[in-house]
Structure 1
Amino acid sequence: MKISNVLIILSLFIVSIKDSNAQRNKSLTKHVILIGSDGFGGYAFDKAKVPNLRKLMKNGAYSLEARSVLPSSSAVNWASMIMGSGPELHGYTEWGSKTPEVPSRVIGKGGIYPSIISLIDAQMPNAKKGVAYSWGGIQYLFERDMVDLDFNGKSDEETMNKALEFITKEKPVFTFIHFDQPDGAGHNIGHDTPEYYKEVEKIDDLVGTIVKALKKEGILDDTIIIFSSDHGGIDKGHGGKTLLEVEIPWIIYGKNIPAQGKLTTSIVTYDTASTIAYILGLEQPNFWRGVPVLDALNK
């Protein structure tokens, strides 16, 4: 083969790689909203009436067999969800961890293991982002000095209202909304009880309100919503290794998300951060361990 032909082929190969990278780094939407519901087990869909979530599932993609990391408790899993890694790397290992019990493998500019917040801050410096949460423990798991909204609501309704106010006014690239129920009902009365499912259905109502508000404001068509949880539960607790505690819902819906319904791929909660990074066209750090759920994004 002539040298000139080799050079032409090499040039085409390089261009192909560049085009592939450009396509991979292209944002799929203008806004991502992560909705997390504490203690919402995947099993809850068997008995609860959740029409709003089922609509997202039907018109998007979902798994009710996604898994939490171990232990199946709150701080360790909320950290994993937004930090793209498990507790062996970010270091939060207990239900109410405020600081890592295991030294974080990497410390970012925010003074903690880098989350999706710091990725957006570094790669999209002008982008608005916020966190609204009903459980105060969330405040220790993200870079508070990097967000435009840091709000701890007294109830899930107050948390939702503040988040919607922020979204409609500021049009943020990323918003994390954390709801404290149905975890409270699970602990106080018990999982798999009428009271627990009543709280599950209230969460479904809040999700429906969010979707309606986004549609009214003309934002929904440029938004991707991800709904998930930190863990399920059994009796009045969680933290163990049963599937009732470990299996969680993972639902994605919105712009550029094909209506595929049930996914068969394996999903772990730290894949959520990776999926958000991919959606926004961000470069994922090599110390994260999550992978984007591409089966949900491609036909």
Structure 2
Amino acid sequence: MDRIRKTIIALMLLWLPFAVTAQPSKVKHVILIGCDGFGAYALPQAEMPQLKRLMQEGAWSLTARSVLPSSSAVNWASLLMGAGPTVHGYTEWNSAVPEIPSADTSRFGLFPSVFSLLKEQRPEAVSALIYSWQGIGPLLEKAATTIRVAGKDNDDFCVDTAVAIIKSVKPVLTFVHLDEPDGVGHNIGHRTPEYYKELQKVDARIGRIVKAVEDAGIANESVILVTADHGGKGKGHGGKSLDEVQIPWVVYGRGVQKGRALTQPVITYDTAATIAWLLRLKMPESWRGMPVKEAFR
């Protein structure tokens, strides 16, 4: 009996590393909130009680990184497509089509995104895309999104719409793009009082989306992820400074470790990989992102 017991224990120890990285059970909804131009440098000093509560009750990194250049379309593409610009081909701040031919395409005609994976592998699943900056639209295949709303540079409209959709439809995957604080960063500047004041409004919008998830009765089976495309320096971005490259990455909800400061590097294309992993979607070979398993129990 002792020999059998020792053999069982040895097998358990052998499989333990695989057990602790299994997907959290019963994750049925992922809500991705993207805040344009939100540099990670700003979060410690910012008055953002809603987001900081998610950090305290979830996992987070303030050293996650964008791809280069630290500009909008190239990074939103990377975040949603699980790969960098040399693979997906979108290389400019306002790319509407790949400047480099994409190394792979989905059956919808664009480089595979987390939305196209969901549509291909779970065609019955409802997805929702709500975006403030119009540059988001060309990055995601229309046929791969169930609900698609262009907010026309109005973040409050986007949040109102997202709240209504989450409560009524309860999509499997929801992406809400908010254009601030990027606008204030460009018009007034990063690291200014006005920038930090705008982050208070961003925080309130995040809080409303989180509350909608709770009001919809799906909080116990949801994961909420808050991140950005890039930060900024002065009145711009696109360069190589850490203010421009480092972005917040905050995850909260089902199966997420509480108060966990992530120690492993996180790159923006890991976001798509993490969402695909949570929703049990098979990732294409062309993706370069890796699920951030450290964030989960």
TM-score, normalised to structure 1, is 0.90
Give the letter aligned to residue 238 of structure 2: G
Give the letter aligned to residue 276 of structure 2: A
Shift of 1:216: 2.0
Cα distance in 1 between the residues matched to 2:289 and 2:84: 9
Structure 1 window deviating more from structure 2 (253-262 vs 186-195): it is 253-262
The 8 Å contact of residues 260 and 296 in structure 1, kept in 2 or not, is answered as no
Cα displacement string for residues 227-247 of structure 1 (whole angstroms, at most 9, x for unaligned residues): 000000000000000000000
Cα displacement string for residues 34-74 of structure 1 (whole angstroms, at most 9, x for unaligned residues): 00000000011132101000000010000010000000000
Partner of 1:284: 283
Gaps of 5+ in 1: 1-12
Partner of 1:101: 99
Q: CA 1:26–1:227 in 2, change beyond 3 Å: closer, same or farther?
A: closer
Cα distance in 1 between the residues matched to 2:47 and 2:24: 37
Cα distance in 1 between the residues matched to 2:37 and 2:23: 34
1:63 aligns with 2:71: no
Give the letter aligned to residue 59 of structure 1: E
Deviating above 3 A after TM superposition, structure 1's stretches of 4 or more consecutive aligned residues are: 23-28
Shift of 1:28: 4.4
Partner of 2:222: 223
Partner of 2:4: none
Shift of 1:285: 1.1
Partner of 1:8: none
Partner of 2:236: 237
Describe how 1:14-163 pairs up with structure 2 within 5 A: 24=22, 28-154=26-152, 155-163=154-162
Give the letter aligned to residue 207 of structure 1: I
Shift of 1:165: 1.3
Give the letter aligned to residue 55 of structure 1: R
TM-score, normalised to structure 2, is 0.91
The 8 Å contact of residues 229 and 247 in structure 2, kept in 1 or not, is answered as yes
Secondary structure of the corresponding residue to residue 284 of structure 2: coil
Partner of 2:245: 246
Cα distance in 2 between the residues matched to 1:77 and 1:186: 17
Secondary structure of the corresponding residue to residue 40 of structure 1: coil
1:273 aligns with 2:268: no
Cα displacement string for residues 250-294 of structure 1 (whole angstroms, at most 9, x for unaligned residues): 000001112042111100000000000111111111110000001
Cα distance in 2 between the residues matched to 1:64 and 1:296: 13
The 8 Å contact of residues 30 and 223 in structure 1, kept in 2 or not, is answered as yes
1:174 aligns with 2:173: yes
Give the letter aligned to residue 50 of structure 1: M
Structure 1 window deviating more from structure 2 (255-264 vs 132-141): it is 255-264
The 8 Å contact of residues 28 and 280 in structure 1, kept in 2 or not, is answered as no
Shift of 1:171: 1.3
Q: CA 1:80–1:28 in 2, change beyond 3 Å: closer, same or farther?
A: farther
Structure 1 window deviating more from structure 2 (124-133 vs 159-168): it is 159-168
Partner of 2:5: none
Cα distance in 2 between the residues matched to 1:125 and 1:156: 29
Cα distance in 2 between the residues matched to 1:203 and 1:85: 27
Q: CA 1:28–1:69 in 2, change beyond 3 Å: closer, same or farther?
A: farther
The 8 Å contact of residues 74 and 95 in structure 2, kept in 1 or not, is answered as yes
The 8 Å contact of residues 66 and 268 in structure 2, kept in 1 or not, is answered as yes
Give the letter aligned to residue 188 of structure 1: N
Aligned length: 282
Cα displacement string for residues 98-136 of structure 1 (whole angstroms, at most 9, x for unaligned residues): 000011001111211010001101111100001000000
- Percent identity, aligned pairs only? 51
Give the letter aligned to residue 173 of structure 2: F
Structure 1 window deviating more from structure 2 (113-122 vs 204-213): it is 204-213
Cα distance in 2 between the residues matched to 1:259 and 1:293: 15
Gaps of 5+ in 2: 1-10
